[in-house]
């Protein structure tokens, strides 16, 4: 379980990468108007073609590598942290959803928005929908020895992400701009991963109270 917890904590690199890559932009990076994927865009000029929006991310390779690493660690953590969740169909569904969401994030990095928008958007959709559903299911299936607040954290984070996804897709940005609402949809997952990973590194499941078997 320790390796799984560390895998999820590595999601912190995703936020560091955004700050570092955005700092290399020749123009100020506007969080409200710029999508996260703009940081991985490999062109330097108007995007989409013919628009007045200039995208120029000199360190795009680092951002795309960060997407891929995030996707890998999402799936690895989901597969390695089994003891923290009850057995059953819901826990299995949570792991499957999170592995698929991680695959979606990896697609986002492997196919930047300007290289193959169809696969890029499909990867983002997998992440936004299945990843946030997984948070709700993870929250519902934590073992009883974990504090109740951690269960509610997973459910709440997933619901925020799903609401953000619905608003982002519908174009209802509520004053946050498209980039801001995209982050409402995307950020609950890595933030939850970091928090859960840190908690699970310190957590010690109770030892079995079953009586020892009699010697033959």
3-state SS of 86-131?
A: CCCHHHHHHHHHHHHHHHHHHHHHHCCCCCCHHHHHHHHHHHHHHH
* Whether the Cβ atoms of residue 197 and residue 8 lie closer than 8 Å to each other: yes
Share of the chain above pLDDT 90, in %: 78
Cα–Cα distance for residue pair 44/21, rounded to 1 Å? 14
- The two three-digit tokens of residue 47, written as one number: 């995007």
Q: Which residues pair with 46 in a beta bridge?
A: 54
Cα–Cα distance for residue pair 108/124, rounded to 1 Å? 6
Give the gyration radius of the chain's Cα atoms: 19
Does the pLDDT of residue 208 top 80, yes or no? Answer: no
pLDDT at residue 202, rounded to an integer: 84
What is the DSSP-derived secondary structure letter of residue 11? T
Identify the CA nearest to 36 among candidates 101, 105, 82, 98. Answer: 105
Q: How confident is the model at residue 50 (pLDDT cuts 50, 70, 90)?
A: confident
Q: Looking at residues 115-122, what average pLDDT do you find?
A: 96
Does the pLDDT of residue 133 top 80, yes or no? Answer: yes
Does the pLDDT of residue 167 top 90, yes or no? Answer: yes
Q: How confident is the model at residue 209 (pLDDT cuts 50, 70, 90)?
A: very low
Q: How confident is the model at residue 204 (pLDDT cuts 50, 70, 90)?
A: low
Q: Looking at residues 143-171, what average pLDDT do you find?
A: 93
Does the pLDDT of residue 211 top 60, yes or no? Answer: no
Identify the CA nearest to 75 among candidates 36, 104, 111, 110. Answer: 104
Q: How confident is the model at residue 2 (pLDDT cuts 50, 70, 90)?
A: confident
User: What is the per-residue DSSP string for 37-76?
Assistant: GGGG---EEESSTTSS-EEE-TTHHHHHHHHHHHHHHHHH
């Amino acid at each position: 379980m320790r390796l799984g917890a560390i895998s999820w904590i590595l999601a912190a690199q995703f936020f560091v990468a955004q700050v570092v890559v955005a700092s290399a932009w020749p123009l100020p990076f506007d969080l409200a108007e710029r999508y996260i994927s703009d940081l991985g865009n490999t062109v330097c000029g108007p995007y989409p073609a013919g628009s007045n929006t200039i995208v120029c991310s000199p360190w795009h390779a680092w951002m795309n590598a960060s997407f891929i690493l995030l996707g890998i660690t999402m799936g690895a953590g989901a597969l390695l942290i089994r003891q923290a969740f009850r057995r059953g169909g819901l826990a299995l569904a949570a792991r499957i959803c999170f592995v698929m969401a991680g695959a979606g994030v990896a697609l986002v990095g492997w196919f930047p928005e300007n290289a193959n928008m169809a696969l890029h958007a499909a990867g983002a959709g997998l992440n936004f929908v299945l990843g946030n559903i997984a948070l709700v299911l993870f929250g519902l299936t934590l073992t009883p020895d974990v504090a109740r607040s951690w269960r509610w954290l997973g459910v709440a984070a997933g619901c925020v992400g799903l609401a953000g996804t619905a608003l982002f897709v519908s174009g209802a940005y509520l004053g946050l701009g498209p980039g801001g609402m995209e982050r409402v949809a995307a950020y609950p997952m890595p933030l939850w991963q970091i928090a859960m990973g840190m908690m699970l590194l310190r957590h010690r499941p109770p030892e079995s109270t079953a009586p020892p078997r009699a010697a033959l």
